[in-house]
Homo-oligomer: A and B are copies of this chain.
Amino acid sequence: MGGRLLWEDGVCRVVLVEGEEAQAFPGYCRVVWRAHVAEMSALEPSARARLMDVVVAVESVLCEIVQPDKINLASLGNLVPHLHWHVIPRWRDDSHFPAPIWAPAVRPAPHRPPPVAETIASRLAQRLSGTS
C-alpha cells in the first residue's frame, strides 16, 4: 500500500494515494494499521478507537482542504487482508458519483487541482499531536 507518507506514529500511518485514483479523487488517503490483523474486531478496543480517531482526523482535514461534497470510508482488504482504511473525497461531478468508486465510471473525471501534501500533513500533525 504505497503512496506519499503524510503522518505516522507507532501504530499506524497515513498515506496520500498517488496515480490515477488520486487524479480522479484528489486527496484520497489510506490509513494503514502497522500490525498484521485482518479485521477491526481483531483489535483491542483502545487500538480500534485510536485507528478510528486517525481515520476521522483524515476525514476532517480533507473536508477542510479539498472541500468535497461527501467523504466515503471503507475497510475492505479482500486482496490485501491487512487492516487499512480508504478515506475518499467525493464530488457530485466526479467520475463515479453517486456510485462507489469501485463501480464503473459514469463520466470522465473533471480536473481538480491536487491538494498540497505538506498542507494535509501539517494539519494532521496538529490534529493528532498529543492524542495517542
Contact = CB atoms under 8 A, between A and B. Distances in A.
Interface of A: 38-41, 48-49, 52, 55-56, 59-60, 63, 70-79, 81, 90, 97-100, 102-104
B74 A98 contact: no
B52 A39 contact: no
A38 B59 CA distance: 12
6 contacts: A40-B52, A49-B49, A49-B52, A70-B78, A74-B100, A78-B97
B76 A72 contact: yes
A39 B104 contact: no
Contact of A39 (B38, B59, B78): B59
In the complex, the count of this chain's copies comes to: 2
A41 B70 contact: no
Given A40-B59, A41-B59, 20 more contacts: A40-B52, A40-B71, A41-B56, A41-B60, A48-B56, A49-B52, A70-B77, A72-B75, A73-B74, A73-B75, A73-B76, A74-B75, A74-B100, A78-B90, A78-B97, A78-B99, A78-B100, A79-B98, A100-B102, A104-B104
A41 B62 CA distance: 11
A77 B70 CA distance: 8
